[in-house]
Structure 1
Amino acid sequence: MVNLERVTRHYKVGGQTIQALGEVSFYIPAGQFVAIVGPSGSGKSTLLNILGRLDSPTSGRYCLEGTDISTFDDEQASDFRNRRIGFVFQSFQLLARLTVLENVLLPGRFLRKPALDLEGRARVLLERMGLIERLGHRPNQLSGGQMQRVAIARALLMQPALLLADEPTGNLDSKSAADVLTLFEEVHELGQTIVLVTHDADVAARAQRRIHLRDGKIELDHAA
């Protein structure tokens, strides 16, 4: 499902070449829940950006669902990302002027071809998230945990092949964090492929598999 082959990422900084990732290779089958862990500067964010096709490798190959998307131009990458990859961020990334329902429907605005009954799907997702009574609320009327549940619903709207989460509990209190992690587990049980980046060992322990990065390389890859 997710296949990285010797992916590297270099950056030019002040005339020097900095290696963020060095020949990272792994395969994630459909339906697996994976945590990417490692200290600051280990390459977690760079790897997540490549998996989400927000960045492209300097070298190597990245295939999702059998399609090599590492070679896509910006327009192709944007279209593919919107249709096949969902994102959940630490800071929620909700638009303050939009209602809960409008925020969840946001990915549909960027489709080249209209999709059938996205609003119906959005309502089903929000009911699953326990937010059906909050459809007309705006983000500033919600708790942090509720905002993250809206973000998860938005990420799932297009039925993505891959759900990516970047420190999704980082801005939440312990109870809200536990609730959000339970939601991830429930989504995973329904067959969703998930890659979650975290520095928290307790969060990583909820995943089926943990990939440890250090200095841009895989240090350890093991099942939970």
Structure 2
Amino acid sequence: MVNLRGIRRRYRIGGQVVNALDGLDLDVPEGQFVAIVGPSGSGKSTLLNILGCLDRPDSGSYRLDDIDVSTFDDELASDFRNRRIGFVFQSFHLLPRLNVLENVLLPRRFLRGSDDGLEAHARELLERMGLSQRLDHRPGQLSGGQMQRVAIARALLMKPALLLADEPTGNLDSKSAADVLDLIADVHGRGQTVVMVTHDSEVAASAQRQVHLRDGKIDRDDVA
């Protein structure tokens, strides 16, 4: 489902060239839950950005659902990202002036074509997240755990092929973090492919598979 071959991404910082990803190969089968772990500077964020079509590799290929997305221009990448990739961020990225339902429906604003059934699907997702009584609340009226559940619902609105989670428990207390991990496990249990970036070994342990990065390469690949 996810197929990366020979992915290289370099950045110039001052007068120095940094190899953020150095010929990385990675396959993620459909329906797998993978945690990407590693120290700061290992390439985790760069890998996530490439998987999410937010950045392009300097060389190598990235295929998602057998579509070569590494060559997409900005417009194609944006449309593909909206339809096929869901994002869950550490800092939630909810719009404070919108209520819960409106935040979940945000991807609809960028949709080309029919949006039939999306509002009903949003309401169904929020019910699954235990937030059916909070539809009219704004983010400032919610706890951190509740805001992350809204963000997960938003990420799932378009029924993405791939769900990307970037440190999804980083801003949460231990109880809320455990609840969010349970929700992600439930989403995965329904067949969703999930790639989660985390520096926390306990969070990574919730995944089926742990891919450890070091210096832009895979250092270890552990399957539970």
Bucket of the pairwise TM-score, normalised by the shorter protein: over 0.9
Q: Would you say 1:22 and 2:25 are equivalent positions?
A: no
Partner of 1:3: 3
CA RMSD of aligned residues (A): 0.6
Separation in 2 of the partners of 1:15 and 1:77? 30
Q: Deviations over 1:85-119 (max 9, x none)?
A: 00000000000000000000000110111221100
**Amino acid paired to 1:53:** C
Separation in 2 of the partners of 1:176 and 1:56? 34
Matched residue SS, 1:132: coil
Separation in 1 of the partners of 2:220 and 2:115? 41
Partner of 1:131: 131
Separation in 2 of the partners of 1:40 and 1:16? 18
Q: How does 1:84-103 map to 2 (within 5 A)?
A: 84-103=84-103
| Structure 1: 5+ residue stretches without partners | none
The answer (yes or no) to whether the contact 1:42–1:214 under 8 Å persists in 2 is yes
The number of aligned residues is 224
Matched residue SS, 1:92: coil
Separation in 2 of the partners of 1:223 and 1:208? 6
TM-superposed CA distance for 1:208, in Å, is 0.4
TM-superposed CA distance for 1:15, in Å, is 3.3
TM-superposed CA distance for 1:12, in Å, is 1.8
Calculate the TM-score normalised by the size of structure 1: 0.99
Partner of 2:63: 63
The answer (yes or no) to whether the contact 1:108–1:114 under 8 Å persists in 2 is no
TM-superposed CA distance for 1:17, in Å, is 1.7
Partner of 2:220: 220
Q: Deviations over 1:166-218 (max 9, x none)?
A: 00000000000000000000000000000000000000000000000011110
Partner of 1:174: 174
TM-superposed CA distance for 1:154, in Å, is 0.0
TM-superposed CA distance for 1:13, in Å, is 2.1
| Structure 2: 5+ residue stretches without partners | none
**Amino acid paired to 2:115:** A
Separation in 2 of the partners of 1:115 and 1:25? 36
**Amino acid paired to 2:126:** L
Q: How does 1:1-224 map to 2 (within 5 A)?
A: 1-224=1-224
Separation in 1 of the partners of 2:29 and 2:215? 25
Separation in 2 of the partners of 1:191 and 1:17? 40
Calculate the TM-score normalised by the size of structure 2: 0.99
